[in-house]
Amino acid sequence: MKLSCLQENLDRGLSVVGRAVAVRTTLPITNNVLLATDQSRLKLAATNLEMAVSCWIGAKVEEEGAITVPARLLSEFIGSLPAEKVDISLSPQTKTVGLKCARFEARISGVDAKDFPPIPKVEGGVTTKVEVEALRQGIARVVFAAATEESRPVLTGVDAVFEGDLLTLAAADGFRLAVYKLPLAKAVSKKTEVIIPARALGELNRLIAEQEEAVEIMVNPDKGQALFSLKNVELVSQLIQGTFPNYSQLIPKSSTTKAVISVGDFLRATKTASIFARDGSGIVRLVVTPGGEMTPGKVVVSARSEEVGDDVGEIDAMVEGEEAKIAFNGKYLTDVLSVLGEAQVSLETTNPSSPGVLKPVGVDNYLHVVMPMFVQW
């Protein structure tokens, strides 16, 4: 293997695949990154056996070949080089990669590329395309609601339903549920439901942050894999096996109180209350009062901690229906409020023991259900 490429490109490529490199692993070679020539490009690939990221960068290839080298070592070295041409050569006998850039030279011992776990090829299944902005929004608004602990494995993923020209993403952790609907740029041939690990979607969101082209998605539920094709980058994720709970019955059909609140004010009031709620298992209390003829409606956000003290915040709101009292875990409110881009959000409640529903005002593709906490008023 012999080739040359630009330091910036190689550095960027390594940072793209770097996040897929395994951290703690039983298979040491997954700490490595794969370097392989692919026609006139250099392919970089890394996997932690949960997802695999491949990235292609432009290179001048003189001799074909492939090798794996420790990912951290390589990216730290390349990252500290000046922005010039990097010459890469492999000595096949010793499996040593020689790197040369400006007046720096390094040799890194590699491991044979044929021992690297094969990056899965996703074939068959359904293919579709999504506009990148919609996907970014969708991932950001649901992924945080997925469970982090493993007791119910399906909840650590995001449920993705492809149907017609609509993609529904949903995540839940037993205390909250986030559902986002987004249009598909290309309709799917048949309805497909898969559970994508939240970690992989989080990584995908990071990768598409600077991209403008639509993302191609290929899903094969039988093989348990999904492929996301970006510009010069591919992410293959293993799918979580199992059935996602039927969440539609968890969404309240009606409500007795509906308050429309400014997102910014609501977020500030919740964050302030959370400071005091820290010692009191995160309980933030909301009292929603409808306005009179002369006075506007309001929401009072309060928290108290037996030992430290308490705080009360008041925000204006347009309230329909009756007065309501409800308590939530403050973290669940701040989590969802901080990802909303809209100016206003509506909060719908029925009684202190049934879930509250948050919906951004002006769009109807997102809803967030939060379970209340039981408190003595």
Partner 1 sequence: MWQVVGQSRAVTLLQRNLERGSIAHAYLLVGPPHVGKMTLALDLARALNCQGAEPPCGSCDACQKIAGGKHADVQITGLDSGGNGNNKPRAEISIDQVREMQHSSNLPPFEGRHKVFVIDGAELMSNEAANCLLKTLEEPSEGVIFILLTSNDSVLPATVVSRCQRLELHPLATSQVETVLNERRLVEPPKAELLARLCHGRLGWAMLAAADDNLLQQRAELIGRLLDITSGDNGERFDYASRLAAQFSQNRGSVQEVLDLWLDWWRDLLLVKLGSGDTITNVDQKAALVDMGRGYSLAQIRSFINSIQAAGEQLRQNANPRLVLEVLMLNIPGRGGV
Q: Would you say 171 and 202 are in contact if contact means Cβ atoms under 8 Å apart?
A: no
Is position 225 an interface residue for partner 1 (rule: CB under 8 A)? yes
| 3-state SS string for 65-100 | CEEEEEHHHHHHHHHCCCCCEEEEEEECCCCEEEEE
Cα atoms in the 13 Å half-sphere on the side-chain side of 164 = 4
Which residues are bridge partners to 37 per DSSP? 42
The span of 75-83, 169-177, 238-246, 335-343 binding partner 1 (CB under 8 A) equals 238-246
The correct pick among 150, 306, 307, 364 for binding partner 1 (CB under 8 A) is 150
d(CA 172, CA 369): 9
Is position 95 an interface residue for partner 1 (rule: CB under 8 A)? no
Nearer to partner 1, 31 or 346 (CB): 31
Cα atoms in the 13 Å half-sphere on the side-chain side of 300 = 11
The correct pick among 8, 12, 50, 127 for binding partner 1 (CB under 8 A) is 50
The correct pick among 9, 54, 156, 350 for binding partner 1 (CB under 8 A) is 156
Q: How many helices (H) and strands (E) would you count in the chain?
A: 6, 25
Nearer to partner 1, 25 or 351 (CB): 25
Nearer to partner 1, 222 or 307 (CB): 222
Nearer to partner 1, 42 or 194 (CB): 194
The mark string for 182-211 relative to partner 1 (x by CB under 8 A, - otherwise) is ---------------x--------------
- What is the residue-wise DSSP string for 114-171? GGSPPPPPP-SSEEEEE-HHHHHHHHHHHGGGS--STTSGGGGEEEEEEETTEEEEEE
Is position 109 an interface residue for partner 1 (rule: CB under 8 A)? no
Nearer to partner 1, 49 or 343 (CB): 49
The correct pick among 171, 240, 269, 369 for binding partner 1 (CB under 8 A) is 240
Q: Would you say 228 and 204 are in contact if contact means Cβ atoms under 8 Å apart?
A: yes
CB of 219 to partner 1, least distance (A): 13
Binding region for partner 1 (CB under 8 A): 24-30, 47, 49-50, 115, 117-118, 120, 150-151, 153-154, 156, 197, 223-225, 238-242
